[in-house]
Structures are given as structure tokens and as C-alpha cells.
Structure 1
Amino acid sequence: MQDFPVSLEEIDNLARRADTVIRRLRERVFAPGAQKALSVRFNVRTAAEMAGRTEKAVRDAEGDGRLPTPEKDPNTGRRTGYSLEEVNRMREVFGTLPRRAAEDPATVLAVQNFKGGVGKSTVVVHLAQYLALRGYRVCVIDCDSQGSTTSIFGLNPDVDVDEDEDTLYPFFRHGGPTSLHYALRATYWPGIAMIPANLGLYDAEYEFAARMVREQSFVLDRLRHGIETISDQFDVILLDPPPALGMISLSVLRAANALLIPAPPNNIDFGSTAHFLKMMGATLNELAEHGGARGYHFVKILATKMNDQKSAHQAIKRVMEAVFPHDLMQSVLKDSAEIDNATANLMTVYEMTGAATRTDTHKRCRVYLDAVGREVETLIRKTWPSHHAALRKEGIL
């Protein structure tokens, strides 16, 4: 019998040591009893711009009682700024909330790529928060058992999330709930709800595979039907699938009505994205034979982790522009230390405050993120007939 120097026991020890590192990180970020809160505030000029009105209109509405009087610092007597809830209250008063009409379809947008490390979760959380800042009602569904998106939204997957009550897992099980309302949770971001994930969701892959033999169409469209039970509450539903071709990923492809494909411009990742597109096409055609064809309002490729200092990135980006002239997004999510620093503390760039937001690095990063958000927002609005008149007025349609 061959003697292997690394035994299963040693692999278990590696897993335990890795778990210790993760636990210590989460203990630092998720202090006992602490609850993540959004501390971002906006001055009157920014708040007025967000609400689509002038500063005078805001002050007049406060003066005549349509808006509450803003809080002031007891020591300085100066305004403390407006919270996002208060900005949304302004939008309600002024009638400038940019939401879809009841007859418009909710956008179910999957940020999908079967390869890990392409910036999928980074795009999901920042896009969700950008849209919430704009006043949309957003739901984030974490379909990845790693729970990265869940962690960034302030929930410890190992402690705060019960796989039998809080994730998609019960819904995927035989005889499970008929609606996804049971799993919806409010977040510390006004306008964003989420369905979290943890490692227990991985078991759904095995259950799905076993049921595929007996109930193909039911399994494939289970997530789509679940989303239909909650879609009336939201303008945009963002899906963060696992970075692999599995049953949950297939369910996400069937549930979404729009796709955003993050693809870093390097040889390996771009090659993987090409394989993903080929595999996705073949898979969707195969699934169509069993559950009917599914189409999308839009499918766009987003260049992520772009480094302008690397000539190889620039070369591959030019290739992407030539190969996907109509499918590649104009905006680019560039590689940024700001995103890395925020993620290290399980935060996003949009929730950073204080001196950190006044650096050139932060400002550049916000420009990239806002550009991506605006372009996706426009793509979404084009799918809503009630927005077409406004889009024509803006010169977009």
C-alpha cells in the first residue's frame, strides 16, 4: 500500500486552522451584540441633487412642514446632514422616486460567471447600493454558499444565518415553502432587502441533482417561481450565484431576465469567460428542450479588475471591444486598492465615511463604480415602458 505523506487527518487540521483565521476576522468585524449600521450622511446640496430639486425647494418644504426639520449638532448648532431614509422622504414629497410602474416587469439581474475571482460579488454589492442610493427598491439574493455577499451586508453566515430558516435551502427542499417571503430580511441599507446564504446552501446542489431525474421542469424553474412571489415588492432583484456550473447556477440562469457577466481582461479570465458563454449557450438550449426557452432583456459583459498600467490588460480590452462591439459595457470597473481595503473590513466603497472619502484614490474609485451603476440603471430603465418618455426626454431613447 502506498504511503502518502499528507493524510486526511492533516487536511482536517488545515481546515481547522483556516477556520480559526476566518473566525478571528469575523470576531473583529462582527463584535458581539453589534449590528451594522449605515453612517453615511449627505449635506443639503447633495441631498437636494439626489432628490432632483434645489436647495431652496428643500428648505421651503422644511419651512412649510412637508419635510421634518433636520437634526442639528447640539454643540455647534449645525445640521448633521441627511440620512438616506430622509433623502427618500424628500423624493416621496417631491414625487421624484425613480421606481418602476406596477405594470413594468421587475428586473431580475444575475451577475453570472462560472469562474471565481472575477469580481462577481463586488459588482453585486456595489450595484445594489448604487441603486438604493438612487431610490430604487432592491432585493439581493445570495445564492452562493460561501456567503461573501451576506457577510458584506453585515450578517455572519456562521452565526446570524440559519440554513433551515433564512436561506434558499428550505425553498429548494421537497415540500418546502411556496413563497420566498419567509427568507426576506431587511438590511442596514434603506431600500435593500436580502435573502442570505451560508455553507448549508451547498446541500441544495445534491438535492436538486437527485430530483432532476423525476421533476426536471419543477427543479429548473423553482427559483424563478419563488422570485415571482416577491417581485411586486422590488424594482430590481440581484442574484449572486455560485462560481460553478451546478444546479443552483442553472436555476439562476432560468430565473433571471437580464445578465451581467464580469470578465477581467487577462488571458486566463477572458478565456474562461469565452468558455462560459459557449457553455451557457449550450446549457440554455438543452434546458429549453425540457422547460421551454428563456430570453433576457439584456446580456452585457463588464470588464472588471482593469489595470491601465498593464499593457496586456489594454491589449485584451481592445480585443474584447472588437469581438463584443455591442455587448461590452462602455464603463469599466478598474482595479482599485479602495475596493480591496473596504472588502478587507467587509465593507463597500459606498459606505466609507470621514477622511478616507477625501483621498484621490477613493474619488477615482467612486467615479468607476458610479459609471457602472449609471449604465446598468439605464439598461434597466429601458425595460420599463413607463420610463420611455423620460428616457426620450433625456436623449437616451
Structure 2
Amino acid sequence: MADMSEPYPITLSEIDSLSRRADTVINRLRERVFAPGTQKTLELNFNVRTAGEMVGRTEKAIRDAETDGRLPEPEKDPKTGRRTGYSLSDINRMREVFGTLPHRAPDDPATVLAVQNFKGGVGKSTVVVHLAQYLALKGYRVCVIDCDSQGSTTSIFGLNPDVDVDEDEDTLYPFFRHGGPSSLHYALRATYWPGIALIPANLGLYDAEYEFAARMMREQSFVLDRLRTGIATIADQFDVVLLDPPPALGMISLSVLRAANALIVPAPPNNIDFGSTAHFLKMMGATLNELAEHGGERGYNFVKILATKMNDQKSAHVAIRRVMEAVFPHDLLQATLKDSAEIDNATANLMSVYEITGAATRTDTHKRCRVYLDAVGREIETLIRKTWPSHHPALRKEGIL
């Protein structure tokens, strides 16, 4: 039998050393991605044909508007004299001139959509980022609220959580504190993506969990609905508010469930992840019923499960996907987010697939990935539009309603 009085070979100093070395790796990675003095920019440019498709007008209509001064002519390459193309801001200016911006009407409710699963590694942040950018490409006004102290979504939107984000000024943390701001306007930040605003996160947000727990005994309803109240102060500026909650059952996650009016549940089709998702759904139901007794019942415009990280070459994935279709015939999105090296490579460089430009966009891998992402975005966009009465005539015309 081992002598329990002897000291363990791995002491606290070794743990501290391991932590410092891990921090060195993180710093090197961030130095490579977040070069000093640089700011992330969007390099997307669209030719006139693509612009016409995005705006819903012919190439001739665009050129006529440029000729008569309603639209500025695009810049030209000084060497070749050829047009350099249109930015997303240019596209949205066209939509404004032609009256094709897809914004909700003022009387339509803003969609507050949480991508929620208490398990990590299911593709939650991937879905949030790509859905936000898909909607922005379509011309919607989007706010992304990073509620996860890990700050993955914040990083992909070009902010170093450790350097560029102050927990006492820039995150949700001040709003959750006693006597905090009455509105979330203080935390809104414009991003390099036209149409997308961000409320960032960093590790400091984790402290809110402890403060929430302490206040829960005294101000239960206030704590539960604090985020919901805050979103109401900024919702008039946006069509869609996307919430990226932490992958755990905590006070912030509960606040997200109370604040959202729609849910997407990402679930990879493997035994462990799908089993965890099944437990999450049971836990969510029990939790919402418990919360209803204290803060009132909360409903949603839609709750849909999204199969993520799907690999058609794995028989187990295919089999579980069939089970998901049988068990959730009306609750499972038809579109599937496939497992893709394109997403992994983009994420490794703190980018999204929608940001990739140049020759890389002409590969079969990229094209397939865009098809998957667009299908997911299009299906969720339709669900959102169904909640807006002002969009119903157009949806009927499109044969969707």
C-alpha cells in the first residue's frame, strides 16, 4: 500500500508552471492572429452580376442607377481601369435605393435567437458566427451577444478577449452587477461586417455566475429576466439578436433561456453528443417549468434541432441521423451542418468560411461547405421571417406560407 504521508510528485508549483507554459502558447497564437496595430477587415467584393442577384435587380438597373446618380459608381483599378467590384456596404446601399432591404417592420417582433446546448464542442459558436454572417449578407441587421466567458465568438469577430475587451466596460458583466447600466447600449460595438454589431465577452464574465448565484436568493425574478430586459433596450435597432451562451447549466445560461424567443439546438449525430443533447432537452424542460413558477412561463416562436458535424462516411452518424429524423420529425431542421475541413481551417485562423476570398473559394471543398452553410442559414431565415407579419405576403408569394 502506498504511503499517503509522502508528498505527491506533482505539486502546485508544477501546476503553475504548466499554466504559464500554456499561456505562452496562447499568447503566441494570438500574436500571430492579432498582429499589433492591425484591425480585422472584410475583403469580400462582388461583381455586378452577383450584386444584382443579392439586391434583386438586373445589372442594367444597377448601371442605370449609377448613371443617373442614385448610386455611386464603384472604384476602378488605376492600372487596368476595370471596376474593383462592390463591397457589402455597397450592396446594402443598393438595397436601400431599390427598396429591397429585408428588414422587419417596426411592429414585427425582433427575433432573439439562442443557439443553446449545455454541452461543449457541438458547434454552437460556429453556428452563431456563420448564421450572423449569412443574415448580414442577406441585408438583415444583426446583433451578436457573446455570453460565453471563453470568448470564441468574440475572437472570430476580430477582438482579442484579453486585450481588446474590458470586463468592466465592454461585456455583459456590468449590466448584471447590482446598480449596473439600465441599457445595453454601452456594450454595443460595430464590427468589420456591415450590419453586424457585437457585445463581446472575456473571462471576466465568468464572475457574473457567482454574483448571479448570490443575488438569486434575494432578487430571483430580477436576475432571471435581467438579460431579457437589457435586450429589449436595443432590440429596435436589429432584426435578429443572436445569443451564444456558455456550454453549461448556470445562471447566464438560464438567463439566455429566459431572454430568447427562439432556440436552435446544435447536436452532432454521435452517441455521446446526441445522448447529451437528449439530456439537455429533458433538463431544459424541467428547468423552464421550474423557472415558470418563479418568473412566469416562457414560450418560443420555434425550437429546432440542428444536426452538426455530420459525416456521411460514418455509418454511426447516418444511423443516428435517421433516429433523429424518426424521433423529431417536426423539430429537426432539414438542413445539416456537415463536418468540414473548410470550417476547421477557417476557425484555426479565427475566420469564418464566409470571409474566405481568392482562389480558395474555387475549391470543391469550399463550394460544398458553402452549400451546407447556406442551406442552414436559409432554413433558419425562413423560420425567422414567419414570425414577422410584414413578411407574410412575400412568403405566400414564394409559396412558403
After TM superposition, the score normalised by the length of structure 1 is 0.99
1:228-377 correspondence runs (5 A): 228-377=232-381
Q: Which residue type is aligned with residue 247 of structure 2?
A: P
1:2 and 1:277 map into 2 onto residues whose CA distance is 46
1:216-250 deviation line (CA, Å, top 9, x unaligned) = 00000000000000000000000000000000000
Q: Which residue type is aligned with residue 123 of structure 1?
A: V
Q: 1:183 aligns with which of 187, 201, 204?
A: 187
Is 1:18 aligned with 2:22? Answer: yes
Name the structure 2 match of 1:112: 116
Name the structure 1 match of 2:392: 388
1:310-368 deviation line (CA, Å, top 9, x unaligned) = 00000000000000000000000000000000000000000000111110000000000
Name the structure 2 match of 1:45: 49
- What secondary structure, in the 3-state scheme, does the structure 1 residue paired with 2:198 have? strand
Q: Which residue type is aligned with residue 56 of structure 1?
A: K
- What secondary structure, in the 3-state scheme, does the structure 2 residue paired with 1:221 have? helix
Name the structure 1 match of 2:203: 199
- What secondary structure, in the 3-state scheme, does the structure 2 residue paired with 1:26 have? helix
Q: How much has 1:3 moved relative to structure 2?
A: 2.6
Q: Which residue type is aligned with residue 63 of structure 1?
A: T
Q: How much has 1:156 moved relative to structure 2?
A: 0.2
Q: Which residue type is aligned with residue 354 of structure 2?
A: Y
Name the structure 1 match of 2:35: 31
- What secondary structure, in the 3-state scheme, does the structure 2 residue paired with 1:331 have? coil
1:8 and 1:129 map into 2 onto residues whose CA distance is 44
Could you tell me the percent identity over the aligned residues? 88
2:51 and 2:400 map into 1 onto residues whose CA distance is 25
Q: Which residue type is aligned with residue 294 of structure 1?
A: R
1:65-109 deviation line (CA, Å, top 9, x unaligned) = 110011110101111010000000000000000010000000000
The unaligned stretches of length 5 or more in structure 2 are: none
Name the structure 2 match of 1:99: 103
Is 1:153 aligned with 2:152? Answer: no
2:7 and 2:122 map into 1 onto residues whose CA distance is 38
Name the structure 2 match of 1:169: 173
Q: Which residue type is aligned with residue 374 of structure 1?
A: R
Name the structure 2 match of 1:127: 131
Q: RMSD over aligned Cα, in angstroms?
A: 0.6
1:300 and 1:353 map into 2 onto residues whose CA distance is 31
Q: How much has 1:12 moved relative to structure 2?
A: 1.7
- What secondary structure, in the 3-state scheme, does the structure 1 residue paired with 2:373 have? helix
Runs of 4 or more above 6 Å deviation: none
1:386 and 1:9 map into 2 onto residues whose CA distance is 62
2:12 and 2:115 map into 1 onto residues whose CA distance is 36
2:17 and 2:152 map into 1 onto residues whose CA distance is 23
Is 1:138 aligned with 2:145? Answer: no
Q: Which residue type is aligned with residue 147 of structure 1?
A: G
Q: How much has 1:2 moved relative to structure 2?
A: 4.9
1:46 and 1:314 map into 2 onto residues whose CA distance is 35
Name the structure 2 match of 1:69: 73
Q: Which residue type is aligned with residue 345 of structure 1?
A: N
